[in-house]
Structure 1
Amino acid sequence: MGFPSYFFFLLFLFSFITLSYSDPRSSVAARICSNKTSTAADRVAFINNYLSAMNALTPQIASQRFGRVTEGTGNATLYAMGQCMGDLSKGDCDLCFAQCKIQIVTCLPYQRATRGGKIFLDGCYVRYDDYEFFEEALSRDDRTVCGNQTEFSGNQTAFAENAAEVVRNLSIEAPKNNGFFVGFVGGGNSTAYGLAQCWEFLNTSSCGRCLENAASSIGSCLPRGEGRALNSGCYMRYSTQRFYNNSGNATTSGGSNGRRHLVIILATTSSALAVVMIITSTVFFGRRRLSKMRKEKKLLGALATTINKSELNFNYETLERATNYFHSSNKLGQGGSGSVYKGILPDGKVIAIKRLFFNTRQWVDDFFNEVNLISRVHHKNLVKLLGCSITGPESLLVYEYVPNKSLLQHLFDKLNARLISWDMRYNILVGTAEGLAYLHEESELRIIHRDIKLGNILLDENFTAKIADFGLARLFPEDRTHISTGIAGTLGYMAPEYLVRGKLTEKADVYSFGVVLIEVICGRRINSHAEEPSSILHTVWSLYMSRTLPEVVDPTLEGKFREEDASRVLQIGLLCTQASPELRPIMSMVVKMLTDKSTIPSPTQPPFLNSNTQVPSIPFENFRPEPNSQSSGNSMTVTLLDPR
C-alpha cells in the first residue's frame, strides 16, 4: 500500500511557493537520505520524534541562527541540528530553515524505514539521524557538487587560479573567525567569490580539518564556474557571481512586510504538513497492523490470542533482523530438520534460530502446544528451547545459543578440531548420559531423542555437554509432514531393532549413546573409511575379547589416561551397543556405572556394521532374513528375532 497521494500533492503545491521578497538562498545543493532500516513500530515513533525535533529547532534557529535537539528514547531516538550561513539576515535565515523542513521530509521513513537525512541549501543546513553526529567533521556521505562548464569573457585560466586561491584562503581564515569567512580574489570577469562555514558544534581543529578536506575536494570542479563541497561538518562554495552578503546583519531594502508574510505562510504550511504526516502515518501503520492481525487470526483461529500473548512467540521480522536476514555468515550448521543460524536480539541476547524445512501451518495448534511442553524441559545438559515463530512465511524454532559448537567439530572437523583431553571427554560423556537419563526417566514428558550423535552434542563455554534437537520428533507428527515415516535418525547410530523393525524405545537412544561413547574414546567415526576392514564396533569388541582395550584409545591423547579407566568406559560402550535391547542398561544405570567404581556386567556381541555396505552383519542368534528378502546395493531386509 503506497503513501496517500494527497501527501505528495501537498509537496507539489509547496514547490510552487515563490521566494520573491528576499534572497534566503533556498536552492537545494544536495539532499542525502540514509539507507539504514528499522521496524514499522519504530518508523511511527521516528516520524513523531522528527516532527517534535523540528518544532524544537525552530525557536533556536530564530533566536541564535543554529540549534540542536535530541528526541525520543531507545531505537526511535532522533538527533537533529540546523544552522544558517553566517552572512544571512535573520529574516532570510527563517525563510531558509522553513524551506529546509519542507524539503527534507522526503527522507522520512514511510514505506522504507530510512533512519537519517541531511539537506544542504545554499543558505542553511538541516540534518537528522539515529546517532549523535553533532561533532562529526567528515563522513562517507560527503560529496562535491560542481556547476555546469561556464564560458568566460575574461581569462578562464586566471579564474581557475583565483578560485583555487580563494578556496585556500577560506580553509585557512574560517577556523580563525568562528568557523565562517567570505571573500574574493581577482578582478573583472575573472573574479572568484567564496564562502566557507563550519557548523557551530565543531571545535577549531575539527573545523580546520573539515575545510581542508573541502578545499581539496572542491578543486576537482575547476575550471568550472561553480563548485560546492558538502561535508558533515562544513560547507564551502566558490562562484563567478557574488552570492553572499557582506554582513550577517545586513537587511535588503524594501519588502520586509512581504518577507514577514512569507515566513508566516511557510510556518503555517509546515505545521499543516506535520499534522497531515502524523495522521497519515498513524492510519497507514494502523491499517497494516490490522491487516496482519486478520491474517494471523485466520491462520491461528482461536489460538491467535494465546500465541500473541505468549513469551514463546517470537516476531518473525525480529528474528529475521537478528540473523541479518539469515545471512550465510551467521549460519551455524544444518541438520535433517533445518538450518541453524546465530542471531542477536535487540536487547543484545544471543540466540540460535532453526529454519525448519517443513511448514507447520497445517497443524499450527499442535505444533505450538508441543513447543510449549518442550520449552518446560530444563536440565543443565539440554539445549533450552526458548520459543518459536509460526506467523511468518516459514516456521522457526528459537534455542539458547551454545558457543563452542558441536562435539563432532571439535573431534573430527579439520578446520575446527582441537585436542580434547581425557578428562574433558569423560565429563562430556557423563553430561550427555545425565541429559538422556533426564529425558527418559525424570522429565514430565517421555522423550526419546532418536538421533543421538556427535553433531547433536553441543559444548558451552565451559565445554559442558548440551544435547540439541531433543523433542523434534514430537514437533513433526509422522502423518502430518513429509518426513520419512517409520525411521528417523543417522545411519551408524541407529539401533538394529529400530533400523530393521521400526521398534522405538528408550533403548534405541542407549544404543546411539554407546556408539558416541566409543567414537569419543577411540577418536574414530562409526562410519569407518572404506579402506578399513571393519567398523570401530568390531575393533573394540575384538580387543575386549583379547583384554587389550586400551590399544584402541585415541592416539592423540598420547597415553595421558589410566588404562583401567579406558577399559571400563569402553566396556560400558559395548554394554550400550548390545544387539538385544533388553540387555542394554537404562541411562540412569549408565550414569551410575560411569561415575562409580562398582562392578559392571560383561557385554554380549554387538551387531557389527560392515564399513563397505553400511548394513548390519547379523549375529545368527538374534537375526534371520525375511522370507523372499533380496539384497540390493546398500540395503537389506532383515528381522530382529525376539531373544525370549
Structure 2
Amino acid sequence: MGFSTNPFSFFLFSLIFFTNLELIPLVESASDYTALVYKGCAKQAFSDPTGVYSQALSALFGSLVSQSTKARFFKTTSGSGQTTISGLFQCRGDLSNADCYNCVGKLPQMADSLCGKAIAARVQLYGCYVLYEVSGFTQVSGMELLYKTCGTTNVAGSGFEERRDAALQVLETGVVSGHGFYTTNYEAVYLLAQCEGDLGDSDCGDCVKSAVQRAQVECGSSISGQVYLHKCFISYSYYPNGVPRRSSSSSSSSSSSLSSSEGNTGKTVAIILGGAAGVGFLVICLLFARSLMKKHDDL
C-alpha cells in the first residue's frame, strides 16, 4: 500500500510527527567513565631480570579484570615472598556490571603505559580505578590528598557557598547511610562520594568529611570540584539552571566538565523544533490550498 499523497493526510502525519518529536525527552549525554582523571606512579621501579614481578603483576591484573564482571570492588594478592604484589580495583557504585568490566578492562594496559615497572601505581578513571603495590611499599594515610581539581568558573554572591556547603553536609551524611557510596541532587548541586570498598562506615564518614573540608577551602567559589584522597573521593557540580537529567547509571559521574549553560539545551532544541514544525505547517497549508485550486480549475 503506497503512501497517500492526499494533502490533508500528509498534514495529519506531519502534525503527529512534529508533536511527538518535540515531546521526546532531552537527556544529557553520559560523560566518558573510562576517561583518565589522574595517575600516580612510584618513582622506584622493580628490577625484574627473571620476569617474576611481571608474571605476578600480570596474574594480579587478570584476577582483577575477571572479578569486575560480578563485583564493583575486589582486593587480592599475587606472587609470593618478596615478589608478592597486592592490588585492588573499584568501580563507581552506580555502574552496571558490564560498564564496570569495560572500565576495569582498560586499566592494565593504561597502568603499563603510564607507569611502566613502577613498584606501586594507581590509575584513576572517572568510573573506576586500580591500585597495586609490591610487598614492602611504604603505606600512606587514608586521608592523604592524591588529586584535586576545581572548576574554572566562579559563582559570585547569590548565596552559592552556603548552598554548596549545605549540599556537602547532605553528602557527608548520605555516604554513611549509603555504606560507602552516595549520589544525589540538592539545591541545584549534583553530588557524589565513594569510599574504598573495605572501609567501615565510621572511617568512610571521616574520610569524606576531610575531603569536603579540602574542597571548601581549596575550591572556594568554584562552580565544581573533585577531591581524591587515598581512601575516598568526592565530586560536586553546581548547575544554576538545574541539574541535567542523566540517561544512564554510568552517566552519573563526577562531571565537572559539563558547562552550567547546558541546562538550556532543552529550551534551545525545543525552539528549533518548534520553528521547523511551523515551517512544515506553512508548507502543508500551501500544498492544501494549491490542491483545492487545482480541483476548482478542473471543474
- 1:165 maps to 2:166: yes
Q: Quick one: distance in 1 between partners of 2:232 and 2:185? A: 19
Q: Could you tell me which residue of structure 2 aligns to residue 90 of structure 1?
A: 97
**Aligned to 1:223, which of 221, 226, 232?**
221
1:117-516 equivalence runs, <5 A: 117-131=121-135, 138=142, 140=144, 142-150=145-153, 157-186=158-187, 191-219=188-216, 220-240=218-238, 242=243
Q: Quick one: distance in 1 between partners of 2:190 and 2:34? A: 19
Please give the per-residue CA displacement for 1:597-643, whole angstroms capped at 9, x wherever unaligned.
xxxxxxxxxxxxxxxxxxxxxxxxxxxxxxxxxxxxxxxxxxxxxxx
**Aligned to 1:80, which of 87, 90, 98?**
87
Contact in 1 for aligned 2:154/2:221 (Cα 8 Å): no
Contact in 1 for aligned 2:30/2:251 (Cα 8 Å): no
- How much does 1:108 deviate? 4.0
Q: Quick one: distance in 1 between partners of 2:229 and 2:200? A: 15
Q: Quick one: distance in 2 between partners of 1:139 and 1:107? A: 24
- How much does 1:165 deviate? 2.2
- How much does 1:103 deviate? 2.2
Q: Quick one: distance in 1 between partners of 2:80 and 2:196? A: 25
Q: Could you tell me which residue of structure 2 aligns to residue 62 of structure 1?
A: 69
Residues 137, 213 of structure 1: alpha-carbon distance in 2 compared, 3 angstrom cutoff: same
* Superposition TM-score, scaled by structure 2 size: 0.63
Q: Which has the higher strand share?
A: 2
Structure 2: give runs of 5+ residues left out of the alignment. 1-28, 253-299
- 1:33 maps to 2:41: yes
- How much does 1:79 deviate? 0.8
Q: Quick one: distance in 1 between partners of 2:67 and 2:203? A: 23
Supply the RMSD in Å over aligned alpha carbons: 3.2
- How much does 1:22 deviate? 6.3
Please give the per-residue CA displacement for 1:2-46, whole angstroms capped at 9, x wherever unaligned.
xxxxxxxxxxxxxxxxxxx9655222221111123433437x322
Q: Quick one: distance in 1 between partners of 2:199 and 2:124? A: 17
Residues 243, 87 of structure 1: alpha-carbon distance in 2 compared, 3 angstrom cutoff: farther
Residues 210, 48 of structure 1: alpha-carbon distance in 2 compared, 3 angstrom cutoff: same
Structure 1: give runs of 5+ residues left out of the alignment. 1-20, 252-644
Partner AA of 1:35 in structure 2: K
- 1:102 maps to 2:120: no
- How much does 1:227 deviate? 1.2
Q: Quick one: distance in 1 between partners of 2:215 and 2:53? A: 34
Contact in 2 for aligned 1:144/1:217 (Cα 8 Å): no
Contact in 1 for aligned 2:83/2:135 (Cα 8 Å): no
Residues 169, 176 of structure 1: alpha-carbon distance in 2 compared, 3 angstrom cutoff: same
Residues 73, 179 of structure 1: alpha-carbon distance in 2 compared, 3 angstrom cutoff: same
Residues 100, 39 of structure 1: alpha-carbon distance in 2 compared, 3 angstrom cutoff: closer
Q: Could you tell me which residue of structure 2 aligns to residue 589 of structure 1?
A: none
Q: Quick one: distance in 2 between partners of 1:212 and 1:125? A: 21
Residues 209, 197 of structure 1: alpha-carbon distance in 2 compared, 3 angstrom cutoff: same
Residues 163, 120 of structure 1: alpha-carbon distance in 2 compared, 3 angstrom cutoff: farther
Q: Quick one: distance in 1 between partners of 2:46 and 2:33? A: 34
Residues 22, 149 of structure 1: alpha-carbon distance in 2 compared, 3 angstrom cutoff: closer
Contact in 2 for aligned 1:30/1:119 (Cα 8 Å): yes
- How much does 1:243 deviate? 8.1
- How much does 1:245 deviate? 5.9
Residues 156, 46 of structure 1: alpha-carbon distance in 2 compared, 3 angstrom cutoff: farther
Q: Quick one: distance in 1 between partners of 2:98 and 2:44? A: 35
Q: Quick one: distance in 2 between partners of 1:145 and 1:243? A: 23
Residues 250, 115 of structure 1: alpha-carbon distance in 2 compared, 3 angstrom cutoff: closer
Contact in 2 for aligned 1:163/1:193 (Cα 8 Å): no
Please give the per-residue CA displacement for 1:175-226, whole angstroms capped at 9, x wherever unaligned.
221111112222xxxx221100112111122212211211111221121122
Q: Could you tell me which residue of structure 2 aligns to residue 385 of structure 1?
A: none
SS in 1 for 2:204: helix
Q: Quick one: distance in 2 between partners of 1:75 and 1:87? A: 37
Residues 102, 240 of structure 1: alpha-carbon distance in 2 compared, 3 angstrom cutoff: farther
Q: Quick one: distance in 2 between partners of 1:50 and 1:32? A: 17
Residues 209, 76 of structure 1: alpha-carbon distance in 2 compared, 3 angstrom cutoff: same
Residues 221, 143 of structure 1: alpha-carbon distance in 2 compared, 3 angstrom cutoff: farther
Partner AA of 2:169 in structure 1: R
Residues 27, 108 of structure 1: alpha-carbon distance in 2 compared, 3 angstrom cutoff: closer
Residues 177, 35 of structure 1: alpha-carbon distance in 2 compared, 3 angstrom cutoff: same
Q: Quick one: distance in 2 between partners of 1:245 and 1:132? A: 43
Aligned residues: 219
Q: Could you tell me which residue of structure 2 aligns to residue 510 of structure 1?
A: none
Residues 31, 195 of structure 1: alpha-carbon distance in 2 compared, 3 angstrom cutoff: same
SS in 1 for 2:159: helix
Partner AA of 1:117 in structure 2: A
SS in 1 for 2:61: helix
Q: Name the structure, 1 or 2, with higher relative contact order (CA <8 Å, separation 6+).
A: 2
Q: Quick one: distance in 2 between partners of 1:175 and 1:105? A: 35
- How much does 1:249 deviate? 9.3
Q: Quick one: distance in 1 between partners of 2:177 and 2:63? A: 30
SS in 2 for 1:184: strand
Please give the per-residue CA displacement for 1:226-257, whole angstroms capped at 9, x wherever unaligned.
21111121111111355896985999xxxxxx
Q: Quick one: distance in 2 between partners of 1:121 and 1:244? A: 22
Contact in 1 for aligned 2:30/2:247 (Cα 8 Å): no
Contact in 1 for aligned 2:225/2:235 (Cα 8 Å): yes
**Aligned to 1:50, which of 49, 57, 69?**
57
Residues 195, 250 of structure 1: alpha-carbon distance in 2 compared, 3 angstrom cutoff: closer
Q: Quick one: distance in 2 between partners of 1:37 and 1:57? A: 22
Q: Quick one: distance in 2 between partners of 1:39 and 1:173? A: 45
Q: Could you tell me which residue of structure 1 aligns to residue 3 of structure 2?
A: none
